[in-house]
Amino acid sequence: MRVRSCRDLCNWNRTPVERRGEPLFACRGCGSQWVPSEQWTPREADGAIPPAVLELIRSDD
């Protein structure tokens, strides 16, 4: 997994790849990666949680 400093270009998208059985998301702005078991939540450049990520978070509740 890659985590890089935000450059105000954040645009998170689900990839066709799974990591450890979890969906893998990647930022098109900086190349950072995220899976739902991470302790942080990705944000778009405007601060919003990406809809696909929000859907996953809500389904875990």
Q: What is the pLDDT of residues 10-43, one digit of tens each?
A: 999 999 999 999 999 999 988 899 999 999 999 9
Give the DSSP letter of residue 49.
P
Per-residue pLDDT at 2:
67
d(CA 10, CA 51) in angstroms, rounded, equals 14
Q: Which amino acid is at 13?
A: N
Pick the range with the lowest mean pLDDT from 6-10, 28-32, 44-48, 53-57. Answer: 6-10
Per-residue pLDDT at 44:
93
Region 48-56: what's the mean pLDDT? 95
Per-residue pLDDT at 53:
96
Q: Which of 12, 9, 59, 57 is nearest to 33 (CA)?
A: 12
